[in-house]
Structure 1
C-alpha cells in the first residue's frame, strides 16, 4: 500500500454526526414524512428502523437502479405503505411530500446529496462515513448550519446504552493510566472479489447517475451496489467502513481528536490478485501525548484481538476494558482491580439512534440528540450547551491542518500539492453545462469581489449540475497572519444569487501549505 492511499483512508476518520437548530414545523401536530435515497442494503435497514417510531410515514423512495426501486416499493405496498418513486433525487427533494430524508448512497455521493437536501429544507439522516474528503465534510457542516437543519450520521453505537456505560467506566479512572487503545475489524466473511469483465449497463440501471461525480468508467458489476466500498473512486475500504465506528469510540474514550503523528503499513496481503483496490490487511498507529491508538483490519479471518472480530480495547495499568457491539468486560491485571464480567448489549443501537433523530426533529432541539464527532473534532455530549460545543470546536481548529503538516514532512514543500485530492474532492463532471457553470462562476466571482483586499481566490467546483461552488479566500490581518474564509455560492444563469461563508484564523506556518489557506 503506498503512502498516498494510506492517507486517503486514515485521515478521513469519518465525521460521525452533527446536530443543529431544527427548522420548520415541530411535527407535534402531524406525521414526519420520510424519503429514502438509496434503497438497497443499509438504506433499507435505516428506513425500517425509522418506521418503528410513531408518527413516521415513508412517502418516497429514490434509487438509480429501477429494479431494486420497484422491489422495495412493492415490499412497502404489502405493508400498506404507498410511496412515490424517483430516479432523480433532486426531483424528490423539490417535491412537497418529504420532510426528512435518509441518504444511504455510496460514499462519493453523500456530500452533494446532503447539501442539496438541506438547501431544499429537509432534515437528514446520512450514512457513514459523512464524506470522502475533509473539504466535503466542511461544506456539509456549513450547508447544514446555514439551513438550520438537523443532521444525524449513522454511527449508531453512540445511541446504544452499553457503549455509553463502557465509556463511563473508562472515564472513571479505574483502569489506571491508559497507555494504548486498540481498535479493529476482522471480517472473515469477506472473501476475494473475482475479476470479471466490463459489461453493458443492466436494464433499468441509470449508470451515469450512479457514477455522479466519480471518474467515468465502463460498467462493472464488481463496483456496483455493496462492493463499491472496495474501490478508491467511491470509498475507502474497511478503514472508512468499520474504522469510522471503532475509532470513533477510541477517540471518545480518550477525549481526543487530533494525533501528533500517523504511521501505517498494509496492503492486499490476503487477496493480492482480486479485483478490489483497498487494503485487505492494515495496521495504523496514531500518536498522542502519553498514549497511542492503534487500528488494524483484516479480511478473510475473524480471530481479532481478544477473540473478537471487532472492538475497542482500552489498555490501562490496572486492567483492560474490551468493548464491541455485543457488550463489554474488564480483564484485570493480577491484584490491581476487580474483574467486570461481560455486560451484554440489551438494546438495538440502530433503533435507538433513529428514536434520537426523530426526537430532535419533533422537539426542534438538537440537544436531545447525542452530539458526536464532527470533522474529527470531539464535541461535548448530550445536555452540554451550544456555547460549550462551539468552544470545543474552536479549540480543535487544528484538526484540518495535521494532514497538511504530515504531507509537508513526508513529501517536502515542493510536493505538498499531493495532498490536494485528499483534502478536496476530485469530482469529475459529466455534464457539459457544469463546465460552463464553473467558467461563469469565475467571471461572476471576479466582479463580486472587485475592490476587496485579497491575496488569492481559489475555486473548487462542487456541484454536479453547476449551480453550487465554493472558494477559499485569503486575507492578511494586521499582524501578517492570514484569515481564511470558505465562501459558498449558488449560481443561477451565471449570476451569484446566494453567498455564505465560515471564517477561520490560519497560523502563519500553514499559510502556504495548501490552496485552502
Structure 2
C-alpha cells in the first residue's frame, strides 16, 4: 500500500452522536469545502446493490466507475457515461487519485477490504457496504485507519434511517419496557449450502475472474460464485448472518449502546468447510450492559417466539424488559402485553429525521456532522456480526476481549479472525 496521504475534506470537530454513542472525532482533516460544492466520487462495484449506491450519490460528480464484470456493471457504465470506466480499482487510483474525494465500495464481501484500505490510505472518504469486510481483523483495520485519517465514513445499513427504527430506539431508551436484559433478533428463510459445482464452464469474456477473486485463493470459475452466489461460500461471503446481521442487529446495538461482546456462543448444523449454513443460532453476552443478544438464522424465527405465543411476521427483533416487551421490525412495532400498554403515551421523538442515508455521508464528507453509521459505531457492530459466524465455525463458545481482538476458551477461533490472502494481496497491520 502507498504511504498515507491527508484528505482534502474536513471532519466535524465537535462531539457527535454515532448511532448510540456520543463521540468526538479524533482527527480533523484539512481544507473544508462548501456544502454546495460537488464531491468527486468513485464507485467500485456497480451492479446489484452497487447500482443502488451509485444512484444514492449521483447528485455528486461521478468521476470513475469500476467493475470487474462488464455485464453486471453495464447499466451503470451506460447511464453515467461521463465517468471514466475501469475494471481494476488499482489502475483507477493510479490515474485519478488526485481527482477523487470520496469512494463507494459495493463489491462482494471478500473484496471490500482491499479497495477500502486503498481509499483510506489515500485519505478518501469512504462509504462501504455491509458487513464492512470479510473478517473481524479486516473490520478493525478499516475502523482504525478511518479514525486515523479523520475521513467521513458510512456503513451500508440503510435501514438505520427508517422512522420505525428510530421509534423503536426511542422507546427502549425512554425506558418504556424498563431495563432490558435479553434481546432476540433473527432473519428467516433457509438460504445457504448451495450445490458444489462439478463442471466448470469457460469464464465469460466480460468477467475478469482473476480480479473478481482478488485476495481469495484461486479456483475455477462457476456461475454459482459469480455474480451472486458468492454470499453462501465462506471464501467469498458471510452467509445470511453477514447479509442481514448489520441491518437487524443495528436496532439493539443502537437502542442499548452495545459495543463489544464479552462472550459468544453458537449452535447449528454440522459445519461445512466451504458453504454457509441454512440455519444457525448465536448468543452474545455484553457484560457492560448486562444484556444477552441472540441472533438466529431460522425459518420461522427463534423458538422464543413460539414459547411466548408471539407472531413474528414482518418483525425481526424482540426486546425483553423488566416492565414489558417490544416486538419490532423495520416498518412496525408492538409493545407487549398489549393490554398493559393500551393507554401508553409514547415519548416525544428525540432522533432527528435523516436527510437520506447517502446524503448523511455526503454532508459529512463536506464537513458536516458524521453520518449515523460512521465506522466508530458500525465497526463494532460489524465485528459482532462476524463473531457469530466465527463461533459457529469454531464449533462452540469463547470469551472475547474486543479491545485486543483475542479469544480464550476455544483454540479454533484465532484462525477464523483473519483471512489468508494469496500472494500479492498481503496487507500490513495498521
TM-score range, shorter chain: 0.7 to 0.9
Q: Residue 118 of structure 1 aligns to a residue in which SS? A: helix
Aligned length: 375
> How far did 1:286 drift?
1.9
1:37 pairs with 1, 26, 44, which one? Answer: 44
Deviations 1:386-443 (A, max 9, x none): xxxxxxxxxxx941457512xxx23xxxxx3x433222231122xxxx3xxxxxxxxx
Q: Secondary structure at the match of 1:279?
A: coil
> Partner residue of 1:167?
169
Match of 1:9 in 2: none
Is the Cα contact below 8 Å between 2:186 and 2:301 reproduced in 1? no
Per the alignment, in what secondary structure is the counterpart of residue 124 of structure 1? strand
Question: For the Cα contact (< 8 Å) 1:262–1:287, is it kept in 2?
Answer: yes
Relative distance call for 1:27 and 1:92 in structure 2 (3 A) is: farther
Query: Is 1:404 equivalent to 2:407 in the alignment?
Result: yes
Question: 3-state DSSP class of the match of 2:298?
Answer: strand
TM-score by length of 1: 0.65
Q: CA deviation at 1:331?
A: 2.4
The answer to whether the 8 Å contact 1:214/1:233 transfers is yes
- Contact kept, 8 Å, 2:127 with 2:156, in 1: the verdict is yes
Give the direction of change, closer, same or farther, for the CA distance of 1:170–1:145 in structure 2 (3 Å limit): closer
Change over 3 Å in CA distance of 1:157–1:365 after alignment to 2: same
Which of 326, 333, 354 aligns to 1:321? It is 326
> Per residue, is there more strand in 1 or in 2?
1
Shift of 1:184: 0.6
Contact kept, 8 Å, 1:267 with 1:282, in 2: the verdict is: yes
Q: Determine helix, strand or coil for the equivalent of 1:404.
A: strand
1:435-464 CA distance string (max 9 Å, x none): xxxxxxxxxxxxxxxxxxxxxxxxxxxxx2
Whether the 8 Å contact between 2:152 and 2:370 is mirrored in structure 1 is no
Task: Decide which structure has greater helix share.
Answer: 1
The answer on whether the counterparts of 2:192 and 2:275 sit within 8 Å (CA) in structure 1 is no
Q: Which has the bigger relative contact order, CA under 8 A and spacing at least 6?
A: 2
Alignment partner for residue 107 of structure 2, among 105, 112, 126? Answer: 105
CA distance in 2, matches of 1:162, 1:185: 18
Cα offset for 1:175? 0.5
SS at match of 1:67: coil
Give SS of 2:139's match: helix
Structure 2 matches for 1:251-330, cutoff 5 A? 251-267=253-269, 277-289=275-287, 290-298=290-298, 305=305, 306-330=311-335
CA RMSD of aligned residues (A): 3.4
Partner of 1:510: none
Partner of 1:253: helix, strand, or coil? helix
Q: Deviations over 1:76-98 (max 9, x none)?
A: 35xxxx22100110222231443
Partners of 2:327 and 2:247 in 1: how far apart? 15
Deviations 1:122-155 (A, max 9, x none): 2110001112223212221232233332121111
Alignment of 1:352 with 2:343, yes or no, is no
* Shift, 1:368, TM fit: 6.0
Q: 1:6-21 alignment to 2 at 5 Å?
A: 21=28
Q: Which runs of 5+ in 2 are unaligned?
A: 1-18, 306-310, 347-351, 383-399
Cα drift, residue 337 of structure 1: 6.5
Return closer, same or farther for 1:146/1:307 CA change in 2, 3 Å cut-off. closer
Q: Is this contact kept in 2: 1:181–1:313, CA < 8 A?
A: yes
Find out whether 1:250 has 2:242 as its counterpart.
no
Q: Give the structure with higher Rg (CA).
A: 1
TM-score by length of 2: 0.77
2:365 corresponding residue in structure 1: 361
Which residue number corresponds to residue 428 of structure 2? 469
**Aligned position for 1:61:** 65
CA distance in 2, matches of 1:179, 1:333: 20
Partner Cα separation in structure 2 for residue 180 and residue 27 of structure 1 = 45
Structure 2 residue aligned with 1:180: 182
* Aligned mate of 1:233, from 235, 256, 273: 235
